[in-house]
Structure 1
Amino acid sequence: MPTASNEELFYSDRNLALELVRVTEAAALASAHWTGRGKKNDADGAAVEAMRKAFDTVAIDGTVVIGEGEMDEAPMLYIGEKVGAGGPAMDIAVDPLEGTNLCAKDMPNAITVVALAERGNFLHAPDVYMDKIIVGSGLPEGVVDIDAAIDANIRNLAKARKCDIGDITLCALDRERHAELIAKTREAGARVRLISDGDVAAGIAACLESSSVDIYAGSGGAPEGVLAAAAIRCMGGQMQARLMFEDDAQRERAQKMNPGKKPDRKLGLTDLAAGDVLFSATGVTSGFLLEGIKRLPPQRAVTHSLVMRSKSGTLRFIEGYHNFNRKTWSPN
């Protein structure tokens, strides 16, 4: 039987996971006011402000390690900012609005994201590119390898899934730098699903049977890679990554943030997000991960969120009904 203190920690952990839903809901409701209005900066600013205010009620002693940038670059949720109402020491990774362009253009897969881990358990990732490869759960360990050719990875994945290569779908960002990745995938006989933005949602989708995505690969933002890793830890999937540097200054910054470790080493899942991890995301626009905000007259809205804990491996999809006449804040 667990001790009383362990029981208290267990129930606190569960309650904290649900508190995170309120944080991502607040950011999603605020940014949804700007959906389709073509103003991505306004949408992002609204999400940042709402998320920062929502953290004031969360019972943690939090430090932002993945956020909106350095202190002189971001007014809120900057790297190193302290948030929370007091409690256990936690590191926080946030993307108040992943897919600002998606929100501004009312395109699929804009979400708000928060992940928590005990102090020191997230990779401190600078704002550089990160090469990533992600597959779901229930597969042999090492079924894919970031250093292997993509066609070899696809063949190994199809063999492990006991399916034809033609049944495998790879998801990647639609970028010129991925031309060879896309061509080699198609030459191998697999399908390619391209997205314009939002690789946190895409990485998570590779771990969801209902998403029709079997593997995510290619380069995207390093902060987004840490957030995806937090979710994948909860889902039992596999991920490998490697930071990519454009110059010596970026390499030196990564070295400074993670002293004693090679900046360009191959990163496993627990190198990105270790220990007990909590994750929450709320949909802003509908996509293959979550439904978006649905407004209901008068002054009401419906949210759809996903909250996960690595300790239990439970995924909860939460539908929330909000009455703005009763809230202490307004998303407008």
Structure 2
Amino acid sequence: MVKKFNNSWSWYDFEDFDLEGLQKIAAEKAQYDLDYWIKKIQETKTNSIVINTFRPGAEWVGGSLVFRQDLLDKDDNHLFHFFVGEDFLITSNLEYSLLGKNDSKYILDEQMENTGNAIEGFSVLLGEVMTSSLIKIDPFEVRLNNLLWKMKEQNSTEILEEIYQCRHELLVLKHLMIPIREIRIALEEAFAERIADKPYYQRICLKIERGFTIVSDYQAEIDTLINLEEVVSSHRGNEIMKTLTVLTTLFTPATVLGAIWGMNFKYMPELEWKYGYLFSFGVIIFSTLLLFGIVKRKGWSGDILRGKKKNSFFK
């Protein structure tokens, strides 16, 4: 399907890969190396971009872009192909229903009516693709906010797992945005002054900047959460080791004295004492309390004898 806008540029939009239709356009646009692009997109299954500036007046940017990626399933992704010259745009395999809005196609047509060339029209299309990624950030923001408070109220390994799941989802979103930024730079590299001052191009620049700013800010928040978890885990690990060390120290007298009186020497006068049993208990209790007093006085026991308080990271 071909549409003309302002009698200045055309948009060839193919729902599926149509080799015959693309070859027909290639014959009409002989000054562009469309055959190379057509061959390349048949072999491409992921993001790619080609810039051709060898022929003045016939510069173009072409490639493929993953415009939709499920945050949990790596195999659930969708790719479309594009070719941008100054006076025409070709797209293939673009599913508008997946852009996040039911009226995405209508919105695109309306905005493209106000564009002056195909480069600006493609900027409009990139804006919609970028918006589809930004839409996913809203529910992510809600999840992250809930996670901030869950971590304080009921911190556990499950919370740490959720933090890393959020981090992975954010990386997927960022991975979707990086090729869009690369395409934006490629457009400026290929068409220079013919695109730099166009309003829709400036808007996609700002939208990309907004997307990366949001992702960077949330990434910083998640990194802070992870660092906090590491500090809490390290502190609790030290508390456990401190507890085990103190308990081992306190039971040392009982262990040593038990080992001594458990020997089988023939001459052990303590075995004949009338109150030897009570005497051994007394020595064990006294030496244990003495060690506990020393540990307590030096402050080595710390907080290990206190119960964990609700809504606290360390107490």
Same fold (TM over 0.5): no
Structure with more contact order per residue of length (Cα contacts < 8 Å, sep ≥ 6): 1
Q: TM-score, normalising length from structure 1?
A: 0.22
More strand by share: 1
